[in-house]
Amino acid sequence: MATRPSASSAADNLDLELRRGVVVLAVLSQLQTEQYGYSLKKALTDRGLEIDEGTLYPLLRRLESQGLLQSDWRMAEARPRRYYVISPEGRRVYETLSANWRALTRVIDELVQPVEVTDGTPGSV
């Protein structure tokens, strides 16, 4: 018999899924100018979006293989670094995703308005 995950672990998993959905948009937004992997992670963290290395770096490669990013190796501070930047195709996708995101957040904001409970009766507001 399958064991049901605890409420907190279910919340953690759902939070992870939620973030996974928006991380592509966040990455594309920060790669309008070229960055190497660690500088991108720092940029996202500095703006309040924590993404673990295990998610971010494989994602960069996947987006590159999908043609949304371009990369090249370059010598910087006496060692090679891979720099990523959004491609023309990635820019088009980014514009579409940004518009969808703005529309989606408007709808979701409406949906997740806090419900005011007045008398404790189930269903009452």
Partner 1 sequence: MEPQDLFERYLHAVGEQLPRRLREDVKAELRSLLTDMLEDRARQAERAPDMDLAVAVLREFGEPEAVAARYRPPAYLIGPELYPIFSLVIKIVLAVMTGFGALTVALALWRSEAPLAELGRTLWELGIQGAGLALMNLGLLVLIFAGLQRWGARDSADAPEAWNPLELPAVEDRDRVDRGSLISTLCFNLVLIVVLNFFPSLVAVFYLHDGTWGRFPLLAPEFLADQLPWFTAAWALEAGLYLAVLWRRRWTALTRWAEFGLSVLTGVVLGRALMGGEILIPAILTVFAKGVMVILLAVNVAEAIGQIYHLIGRFFAAPPAPLSPSHR
* Binding-site ranges for partner 1 (CB under 8 A): 36-39, 42, 52-55, 57-58, 61, 73, 79-82
Residue type, 96: T
**What minimum distance in Å lies between the beta carbon of 118 and partner 1?**
33
Run of H or E residues at 76: strand 69-76
Count of residues for the chain? 125
H/E stretch holding 25: helix 7-30
Between 59 and 91, whose beta carbon lies closer to partner 1? 59
- Residue 32 or 55 with smaller CB distance to partner 1: 55
Q: Which residues pair with 79 in a beta bridge?
A: 76
* Least gap, CB of 92 to partner 1 (angstroms): 20
Please, what is the minimum distance in Å from the beta carbon of residue 58 to partner 1? 4
Which C-beta is closer to partner 1: that of 55 or that of 96? 55
Least distance to partner 1, CB of residue 15, Å? 18
Q: Which residues have a Cβ under 8 Å from the Cβ of 55 and sit 6 or more positions away?
A: 20, 23
Nearer to partner 1, 80 or 122 (CB): 80
Distance from chain centroid for Cα 65:
18
